[in-house]
Amino acid sequence: MTEAPFRPLDGVRVIDFTRLLAGPSATMTLAELGAEVVKVEQPGLGDETRHWGPPFVHGASAYFHAINRGKRSIALDLTDPDDRAVAHALIGTADIVVESFRPGVAERLGIGAAAMRERFPRLVYASISGFAQQGPLSAEPGTAVTVEAESGLMHVTGYEGGDPVRSGVAMVDIATGMSMINGVLAALLERERTGRGRTLEFSLFATALSSLGTVIAASSAGGPSSRPWGSAHPSIVPYRAFPVADGHVVLGATNDPMFARLVSALDLGAELGGERWARNQARVEGRTEVDGAIARRIADLPLDAVVERLRAARVLVARVRSPEEAAQGAQAQALGLIEHDDGVAIARSPLGTNGTARLARAPMLDADGPTLRAEVAGSDGDGRG
């Protein structure tokens, strides 16, 4: 029996005052779950990411299209009383409001959490910021690169002795958006019991610091001070990328029996067999010698040969691919994770494997403005429920 499309948020309306990456990626995921998302943008400019290119497609950057699909757009100048009244009317029709203004700006624009939830008690109101709404860094610009620096995440990224390196993708933004989704969905469940909404706050800094939980715990418990490990792992050896004749391979042994199988598969018994390296603690302490033996053994072998040997031995192994290769590869195709819109490859969220909605192209700026203004004209602003 074929299950119905997975649209648990049908009938839920989200008013989205966010921009850049964390908020827009999260609200797009809510749209994929069936919510109606209304993106409120600045007249004439819109979300800055519309202009983050080249490349540009369908009137905006490819970046913007990747994280704003399935939404409606209205352009409102929140400093204008008439446009602010439209914003209030839209909020009155919403279940969820999400904003990513600098701390204090939403209040100055008349759409702050306290005022909106006093007027609309059932509203779930979520804020996303760089460094949160309080604390000595709260007023500082909080983008992925500044947060990675201040949180310590950049300190453990890259290679020791090299310059600090930011993540290749702004994963702190993506993870903050995922945390926001968890929070607002839980708040909607709570509202079913209590009849009241909730104010929620999410920051990139909190996400980044919490992601370092194992590092912070280990160093506080007497372990070595944190440092960058490149592709390696501080507590497992081997577990990193190695060069081979025609590319790079990641391999690892997450337990001692797997290491024994790795040694056998690569014919390394003379160097790494026996009791000396049988336990992970010894391998961590002798990291340079163990990794060096593996590196020498596979440096001239073809990538396919290394992968085939280690997979046959049930050893952790993977090719290091480019994003383009992965998107075009068999695994992505099998899961239906890549869609094509007039030549542009669009990656679906992880929810896409569960029958969620396929989203329409990201909207042109103010594409739905006239319709939405007409919809709320004369609204009494009583809110939902």
Predicted pLDDT at 15: 98
Tokens at 6, concatenated: 């997975």
Q: What sign has the CA pseudo-torsion 312, 313, 314, 318?
A: negative
In the predicted model, is pLDDT for residue 2 greater than 80? no
pLDDT 10s digits, 120-138: 999 999 999 999 999 999 9
**What mean pLDDT value characterizes the chain?**
95
CA distance 301 to 239: 19
CB 184 within 8 A of CB 94: no
Predicted pLDDT at 141: 86
- Give the residue-averaged pLDDT of 33-39: 98
pLDDT 10s digits, 310-359: 999 999 999 999 999 999 999 999 999 999 998 899 999 999 899 898 99
- Give the residue-averaged pLDDT of 177-190: 98
CA distance 154 to 215: 13
- Give the residue-averaged pLDDT of 144-163: 94
CA distance 155 to 239: 20
Instruction: Return the bridge partners of 338, or none.
Output: 347
CA terminus-to-terminus distance, the chain = 36
All structural domains of the chain with their residue ranges: 13-211+337-376, 254-314
Tokens at 359, concatenated: 């989203």
CA distance 178 to 34: 16
CA distance 186 to 236: 36
Q: Is 267 a catalytic residue?
A: no
In the predicted model, is pLDDT for residue 379 greater than 80? no
Measure CA 345 to chain center.
Answer: 18
pLDDT 10s digits, 203-214: 999 999 999 999
Instruction: Tell me the C-alpha to C-alpha distance, in Å, between residue 278 and each of 61, 221, 255, 259.
Output: 53, 25, 10, 8
Q: Which residue has the higher pLDDT, 164 or 379?
A: 164
HSE-up of residue 186 (Cα within 13 Å, Cβ side): 9
Provide the H-helix boundaries in the chain: 22-32, 62-67, 81-92, 105-108, 113-119, 144-151, 171-194, 204-211, 213-220, 256-265, 269-272, 280-285, 287-298, 303-312, 323-328, 330-335, 369-376
Number of residues that make up the chain: 385
Instruction: Tell me the C-alpha to C-alpha distance, in Å, between residue 169 and each of 92, 174, 200.
Output: 36, 9, 25
Instruction: Tell me the C-alpha to C-alpha distance, in Å, between residue 28 and each of 177, 283, 294, 332, 366.
Output: 10, 45, 44, 20, 17
Which of 62, 17, 67 lies closest to 41, judged by CA? 17
Q: How confident is the model at residue 385 (pLDDT cuts 50, 70, 90)?
A: very low
Fold of 13-211+337-376: Rossmann fold (3.40.50)
**Of 47, 95, 173, 366, which residue is the catalytic one?**
173
CA distance 148 to 79: 33
pLDDT 10s digits, 333-342: 999 999 999 8
CB 39 within 8 A of CB 368: no
Residue with structure tokens 């990328």?
241
| Residue 322, burial from CB neighbour count under 10 angstroms (0-12, 13-18, 19+) | exposed
Residue with structure tokens 């490349």?
55
DSSP 225: P
Q: How confident is the model at residue 111 (pLDDT cuts 50, 70, 90)?
A: very high
In the predicted model, is pLDDT for residue 172 greater than 70? yes
